[in-house]
Amino acid sequence: MATPFEDEGSVGLVKPRVEHFAEPFALACGEVLPAFDLIVETYGTLNSSRSNAVLVCHALSGNHHAAGKHAPEDAKPGWWDTLIGPGKPVDTNRFFVVSLNNLGGCDGSTGPNTINPATGETWGPDFPDVTVNDWVNSQLALAERLDIDRWAVVIGGSLGGMQALYWAVHHPGRVANCVVLAAAPRLTAQNIAFNEIARHAITSDPDWLEGHYSKQQKVPARGLALARMVGHLTYMSAEGMTDKFGRERRATEHSGEPEIFEVESYLRYQGTQFSTRFDANTYLLMTRALDYFDIADYTDGDLSAALSPITARLLVVSFSSDWRFSPARSREIVDALITASKDVSYAEIETDGGHDAFLLNDPDYCHLMRAWLEQVTL
Amino acid sequence: MMRYDLTRIMDWVPRASRVLDLGCGDGEFLAQLQTARDVEALGIELDINNITAAARRGISVIQQDMDRGLDNFPNQSFDIVVLAHALQVLHRPHSVLEEMVRIGKEAIVTFPNFGHWRCRLHLGLLGRMPVSRLLPFEWYDTPNIHFCTVTDFEALCGQMNIAILDQDIVTGPRATILNSLAPNLFGSTAIFRICKQ
pLDDT, tens only, B140-174 = 999 888 989 999 999 999 999 999 999 998 876 56
Q: Which CATH class is domain A17-186+294-374?
A: alpha beta
Sequence ranges of the domains in chain A: 17-186+294-374, 192-286
Give residue B115's pLDDT: 86
Instruction: Please list every residue in chain B whose beta carbon sits closer than 8 Å to the beta carbon of residue A334.
Output: 62, 72
Instruction: Please list every residue in chain B whose beta carbon sits closer than 8 Å to the beta carbon of residue A176.
Output: none
Asked if A254 is an active-site residue, the reply is no
Q: Which of B63, B75, B81, B103 to mutate to test the interface with A (most CBs of A within 10 A)?
A: B63
Q: Does A251 touch chain B (CB under 8 A)?
A: no
SS3 string of A161-195? HHHHHHHHHHCHHHECEEEEECCCCECCHHHHHHH
Give the closest-approach CA distance of A217 to chain B in angstroms.
52
pLDDT digits (tens, 9 = 90+) for A12-29: 999 999 999 999 999 999
Percent of chain B residues topping a pLDDT of 90: 67
The answer, yes or no, to whether residue A89 has pLDDT greater than 90, is yes
Helix (H) or strand (E) holding A142: helix A132-145
How far apart CA A114 and CA A129 sit, in angstroms, is 15
Q: Which of A304, A367, A377 to mutate to test the interface with B (most CBs of B within 10 A)?
A: A367
For residue A313, the chain B residue with the least C-alpha distance is B60
Domains by residue range for chain B, with CATH = 4-196 (3.40.50.150)
Give the closest-approach CA distance of B108 to chain A in angstroms.
21
Average pLDDT over residues A203-232: 97
How far apart CA B76 and CA B24 sit, in angstroms, is 19
The interface predicted TM-score of the complex, written ipTM, equals 0.93
Instruction: Please list every residue in chain B whose beta carbon sits closer than 8 Å to the beta carbon of residue A335.
Output: 72
The answer, yes or no, to whether residue A96 has pLDDT greater than 50, is yes
Helix, strand, or coil (residue A151): strand
Give residue B2's pLDDT: 57
pLDDT digits (tens, 9 = 90+) for B78-111: 999 999 989 999 999 999 999 999 999 999 999 9
Confidence of residue A6 (pLDDT cuts 50, 70, 90): very low
- DSSP secondary structure of A355-368: GGGGGS--HHHHHH
- Tell me the CATH number for domain A192-286: 1.10.1740.110
Helix, strand, or coil (residue B58): coil
* Cβ <8 Å between A2 and B49: yes
Closest to A259 in 3D by CA, of A268, A267, A250: A250
Which phi and psi angles does A279 have, rounded to 5°? -90, 135
Give residue B174's pLDDT: 61
Give residue B132's pLDDT: 80
pLDDT digits (tens, 9 = 90+) for A31-64: 999 999 999 999 999 999 999 999 999 999 999 9
> Among partner residues A338, A364, A374, which is closest to B48 by beta-carbon distance?
A364
Confidence of residue B175 (pLDDT cuts 50, 70, 90): low
Residues with Cβ within 8 Å of A53's Cβ and at least 6 positions away in sequence, in order, are A46, A95, A96, A97, A98, A143, A146, A148, A151, A152
SS3 string of B143-156? CCCCCECHHHHHHH
Q: Report whether A241 contacts A266 (CB < 8 A).
A: no
Closest to A54 in 3D by CA, of A183, A166, A133, A146: A146
- Paired strand residues for A121: A116
The beta-strand segments (E) located in chain A are 17-21, 25-26, 32-33, 36-43, 53-57, 84-85, 90-91, 96-100, 115-116, 121-122, 153-157, 177-181, 249-250, 260-261, 313-319, 344-349
B10 vs B13, B31, B84, CA distance in Å? Answer: 5, 11, 12
The answer, yes or no, to whether residue A8 has pLDDT greater than 80, is no
Percent of chain A residues topping a pLDDT of 70: 98
pLDDT digits (tens, 9 = 90+) for A352-371: 999 999 999 999 999 999 99
> Among partner residues B51, B57, B73, which is closest to A338 by beta-carbon distance?
B73
Residue from A58, A138, A355, A356 carrying the catalytic annotation = A355
pLDDT digits (tens, 9 = 90+) for B18-66: 999 999 999 999 999 999 999 999 999 999 999 999 999 999 999 999 9
Give residue A329's pLDDT: 98
Give residue A3's pLDDT: 43
